């Protein structure tokens, strides 16, 4: 999509972090933006801040793990803006991993938000975008954790690998319809994803309490340190804007992660060569 001014966007997880940065960048491009988030107080604050600067933005409370909630958010967007052109499926949570304590509730929560949240949004918005015929773009937030298994046995990595695959398949099917697809794969960014348990619904049970002396506790502490020193979300949003303008499928933000991807691909190619030898 070369021209974004005057068009409408829908962004999940828009009250903070990468979602807020993308929604802000869209508004500055002259787009109308629906902010969707599960955290109502943060959502109101974000919308009010952009409106104070004259942006045409609105907010809707949305739990992406609940398909009915996503349907309601989509209908609110259509009523407010008419046609919606850019859909950013960005809401995500961090959950437990590792092999020492495998919590089914942790897996369900992370998969429901990080993977099924993307599916629910595509199901709610894609028929509308196809019908209005004005073209559009879908941005799915994955992660470098969807390109390599550096986090080990983890619902987060499993969901992000699935989002990469989903986006690749969706891109091939939608390109002939004039609808672009991008999959965003950042590494460490200064967001509050490490605190995502604050919004965990009760039906998933309480978050797992880590033993401070366990290896996993050390991993979590290191991830928190890297997030604090991570990339500015505004830099990620700038890359997303460029990807939408240029119809790029893969959006990377951390060139230093190239070596880890190369190691994985080299192992895959070596295994393929072993079969053909």
Sorted by where each begins, the domain ranges of the chain are: 8-276
Query: Residue 225's pLDDT is what?
Result: 75
- Is the pLDDT at 110 greater than 80? The verdict is yes
Query: Residue 88's pLDDT is what?
Result: 98
- pLDDT tens, 132-142? 999 999 999 99
Instruction: Give 176's contacts (C-beta < 8 A, 6+ positions apart).
Output: none
The closest alpha carbon to 148, from 196, 102, 97, 187, belongs to 187
- Is the pLDDT at 98 greater than 90? The verdict is no
Q: What is the mean pLDDT of the chain?
A: 93
pTM of the complete model: 0.94
Whether 121 contacts 87, CB under 8 Å: yes
Average pLDDT over residues 247-273: 93
Of 192 and 2, the structure prediction assigns the larger pLDDT to: 192
The closest alpha carbon to 23, from 188, 234, 195, belongs to 234
156 given a catalytic annotation: yes
- Is the pLDDT at 209 greater than 80? The verdict is no
Lowest mean per-residue pLDDT among 25-34, 181-190, 200-209 = 200-209
Instruction: Give 23's contacts (C-beta < 8 A, 6+ positions apart).
Output: 9, 11, 14, 33, 35, 46, 50, 57, 88
Q: Which of 156, 188, 204, 250 is catalytic?
A: 156
Q: Please name the fold of domain 8-276.
A: Rossmann fold (3.40.50)
Alpha helices (H) along the chain:
17-28, 40-52, 67-81, 104-114, 116-132, 155-174, 215-228, 233-246, 258-276
Which tokens belong to 176?
A: 């002939």
Q: What whole-number distance in Å separates Cα of residue 274 and Cα of residue 221?
A: 39
- Is the pLDDT at 80 greater than 90? The verdict is yes
- Is the pLDDT at 218 greater than 90? The verdict is no
Pairing relation of β-strands 136-141 and 250-252? unpaired
- Is the pLDDT at 277 greater than 70? The verdict is no
């Amino acid at each position: 999509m070369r021209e974004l001014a005057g068009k409408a966007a829908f962004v999940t997880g828009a009250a903070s972090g990468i979602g807020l940065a993308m929604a802000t960048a869209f508004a500055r491009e002259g787009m109308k933006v629906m902010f969707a988030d599960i955290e109502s107080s943060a959502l109101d604050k974000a919308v009010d801040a952009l409106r104070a600067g004259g942006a045409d933005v609105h907010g809707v409370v949305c739990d992406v793990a609940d398909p009915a909630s996503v349907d309601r958010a989509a209908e609110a967007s259509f009523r407010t803006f008419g046609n919606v052109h850019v859909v950013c499926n960005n809401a995500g949570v961090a959950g437990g991993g590792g092999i020492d304590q495998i919590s089914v509730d942790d897996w369900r929560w992370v998969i429901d938000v990080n993977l099924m949240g993307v599916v629910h949004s595509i199901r709610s918005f894609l028929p509308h975008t196809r019908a209005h015929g004005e073209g559009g773009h879908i941005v799915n937030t994955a992660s470098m954790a969807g390109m390599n298994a550096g986090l080990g046995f983890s619902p987060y990595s499993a969901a992000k690998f699935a989002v990469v695959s989903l986006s690749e398949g969706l891109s091939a099917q939608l390109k002939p319809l004039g609808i672009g697809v991008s999959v965003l794969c950042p590494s460490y960014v200064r967001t509050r994803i490490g605190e995502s348990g604050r919004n965990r619904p009760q039906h998933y049970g309480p978050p797992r309490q880590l033993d401070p002396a366990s290896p996993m506790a050390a991993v979590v502490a290191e991830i928190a340190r890297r997030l604090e020193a991570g990339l500015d979300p505004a830099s990620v949003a700038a890359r997303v804007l460029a990807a939408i303008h240029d119809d790029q499928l893969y959006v990377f933000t951390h060139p230093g992660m190239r070596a880890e991807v190369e190691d994985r691909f080299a192992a895959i190619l070596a295994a393929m060569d072993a079969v053909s030898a």
